[in-house]
Structure 1
């Protein structure tokens, strides 16, 4: 029982989650997990955080939990700018947009942290080198019937088992990460439930279970240790320098989202986090998106939004990295590919933009009451060449699209550099020259002939993908 004015308050959610968990209700664990994540997570990550198995007898699935919570009016699925479809505790509508930038920054930082954990597991030989998967992969990482932020088989001596036929059966590593301020007792309980559920499965080998967080309160840490779970922080895993850089990354990304782009801070983060295998690729792509947003604003494309998600029923969704709208004048949607200049943009990425993203975004823009009559341009900005095949697709599409519908433009490395120069902003120019030009100071060509044998640098770029 509660007073009407208490609905949705922190006190309400704490008591509701506690009462449900006291009765071992899966709904309570899901509410506690959402509260620990700040009240909102991407829909795709809900099966990871809610503590329930994907499919298992006598257990509610994440889909059923979400349905029941929605029917009870406790959570809703909403489309949030920069995040896409999210599951959120019922909040005032402005909550979602106000917290979108902070949530996205945290998620990007967590992805870098997962890259670091993957690198650590590989180098120590704890996990099978080529079989570590993270939540960025499709499908989600899974051990047994449960989804995780990271999973991998392990062939360490004390982890393996043998079948009756003598075949080796590996153990596993399962890890979740959460970089909110502090993990509470209620916040770690859904993860502990996942771990105990997994251990009860008879056909799954031993599993090393790890929860990585910024910090734990005393009760949460003690309960994790009691259940034999590794409670780690970025500092204990990788040292103070990496931990400080991850905290700084979140801050830099939040500031950049509010048009406070700081190239020098990105440089410092590259120097530190670039030591993590694969992190440089992720940082380069994120840096380029913010550079393009800043350049677009300085070059007069109007009001700028980043990472807008468009959806057409039955056709799917498409994300526009940078959207510029000049009121009563024009709409410009930009796709950003911040690759090494020695790489080549994979044809499938270019084709998806041209054949999937552009039509879906165009349909959504034409349905928007304020944009439906404005000229629309779709632009592909890249710091690496596209293949000659992709260039021929672009030229063919451009010649066939009626000018009365929309235009498409290709901004290759040279055009992107000119846009930085035209902005007159020293930090933009310096960032491009440092990260997106060849070592001899030259700019990559607009296109590159497809060939069977790739260079070592291109192979490394694709491996990072």
Structure 2
């Protein structure tokens, strides 16, 4: 059987498989290697990804087809694990992951490290294969490389819960003296690898001395929640830890916070000396239920705000009671729900955090409110600083036109209104630009709201509870 015949029958595969197959015909492995290395169209290959210098062979007609991506995925899983860990990380997070969070869930270093390809290079190579897709602030997967359906809203809910846990863990660690006060960093590096939380610890017994200098140990924490943790996920985490064991001069305590784990995966973590913390054991079952409510509210925000808006009010109140540091760290994500709550009282339908793809351009809509004669699209920011000119200009030139064209592709009758809500207001330059566009725009309406306008809108709302929410959680500081 020729290589071409084999690939046509079985689909794309690695060179090692072809060598084994052709060896059955009596040829030496060296002769086979030379033969297949000289193959030309219609046989093609990918090199530079797989262990032992293997190549991935495919026919021209198979390129970027379903069988191509299915077999590529299988080969990455067995023979290019550092690349497959990226695929698995995005799958675990429901098809999306923030760019600056991805490396925490791989075992590729953030900087150059001998014998290890850094995460930037890994991502570049996967993008060249069109395995992962650059989606602005996020990475997502090519639909043909995964059988799992992406769910952006669910990802956002889980991500918000994870950030809450990391913040809570930091406060907990400080309260018992485990980590040095005000020294913790989120999504930070240790020994050239990224973790969700990193902080030095001066606890007796885990620090070290060198030339009469005290060196702290480091608490390294990652969070995997919202999906079942498998052996695959654990092996990626342990691979990261193993590299650090061999390269770091500092002692460290590895924490992995979970809510649902395969029993074999749990045993593997424990046998490797990893400190495993379950959310309900660390912070209580009431806290765990609150996080589930948070995830559900964000994942199903449009339906919940329209059918049961009180659920959002209850969530805010309970978060304020149970989460240390109040809701300060959650303001950005919860503010769009507050704007959604406002519009749930005056609109027929609303959608929160909607992702659109129009003519190859992907954009995220914070709040999409539909009324009888109009559609309102809101950009929502709850920063401590004022929104500046650069961000305002990007919204006006990169976001608004694409969303407008997308709406007009299916809706020609309703007026379209774009609003920018900012609890901290706008810089003078940004405000001047917005006012100019507001006065000159003809195809659609533009409006912008700072603190005073937000409160004024809330006071005119049918639901006076929105005034309380805005003042208590988003406006005052």
When normalised by structure 2's length, the TM-score is 0.71
Q: Distance in 2 between matches of 1:34 and 1:263?
A: 31
SS of the counterpart of 1:269?
A: helix
2:191 pairs, out of 135, 144, 156, with 144
Which residue does the alignment assign to 2:468? 434
Q: How many residues are paired up? A: 411
Task: For residues 235-270 of structure 1, give each alpha carbon's deviation from its aligned partner in whole angstroms, at most 9, with x where no partner exists.
Answer: 111111111111121112112144545443334333
1:158 pairs, out of 200, 205, 208, with 205
SS of the counterpart of 1:149?
A: strand
Cα 1:19–1:94 change in 2 (3 A) is closer
Which residue does the alignment assign to 1:452? none
CA drift of 1:353 comes to 3.9
CA drift of 1:408 comes to 4.7
CA drift of 1:156 comes to 1.7
Cα 1:303–1:248 change in 2 (3 A) is closer
Q: Distance in 1 between matches of 2:345 and 2:145?
A: 33
Which residue does the alignment assign to 1:171? 217
Q: Distance in 1 between matches of 2:152 and 2:402?
A: 21
| Structure 2 stretches lacking a partner, 5+ long | 1-6, 12-64
CA drift of 1:171 comes to 1.5
- For 1:11-22, what aligned pairs fall within 5 Å after superposition? 16=75, 19-20=78-79
Worse-matched range after superposition: 144-153 or 296-305: 296-305
Q: Distance in 2 between matches of 1:402 and 1:304?
A: 28
CA drift of 1:147 comes to 0.9
SS of the counterpart of 1:86?
A: strand
Task: For residues 51-97 of structure 1, give each alpha carbon's deviation from its aligned partner in whole angstroms, at most 9, with x where no partner exists.
Answer: 21122110122233234444556x22143xxx84313254489976x
Whether 1:58 and 2:115 are equivalent positions in the alignment is yes
Worse-matched range after superposition: 243-252 or 285-294: 285-294
1:46 pairs, out of 99, 102, 107, with 102
CA contact (8 A) 1:36 1:184 kept: no
- For 1:81-100, what aligned pairs fall within 5 Å after superposition? 84-88=137-141, 90-91=143-144, 99-100=151-152
2:275 pairs, out of 221, 225, 230, with 230
Whether 1:26 and 2:82 are equivalent positions in the alignment is yes
CA drift of 1:102 comes to 1.2
When normalised by structure 1's length, the TM-score is 0.73
Which residue does the alignment assign to 2:55? none
Q: Distance in 2 between matches of 1:118 and 1:145?
A: 21
2:340 pairs, out of 293, 297, 301, with 293
Q: Distance in 1 between matches of 2:262 and 2:437?
A: 61
Whether 1:398 and 2:450 are equivalent positions in the alignment is no
Q: Distance in 1 between matches of 2:191 and 2:213?
A: 19
CA contact (8 A) 2:363 2:403 kept: no
| Structure 1 stretches lacking a partner, 5+ long | 136-140, 340-344, 445-456, 459-465
Which residue does the alignment assign to 1:269? 315
2:247 pairs, out of 184, 188, 201, with 201
Q: CA RMSD in A?
A: 4.3
Which residue does the alignment assign to 1:336? 380
Q: Distance in 2 between matches of 1:18 and 1:396?
A: 50
CA contact (8 A) 1:310 1:361 kept: no
Which residue does the alignment assign to 2:291? 246
2:180 pairs, out of 114, 122, 128, with 128
CA contact (8 A) 2:340 2:367 kept: yes
2:385 pairs, out of 321, 338, 346, with 346
Q: Distance in 1 between matches of 2:215 and 2:356?
A: 42
Higher relative contact order (CA 8 A, sep 6+): 1
Whether 1:183 and 2:229 are equivalent positions in the alignment is yes
CA drift of 1:279 comes to 4.5
Which residue does the alignment assign to 2:421? 381
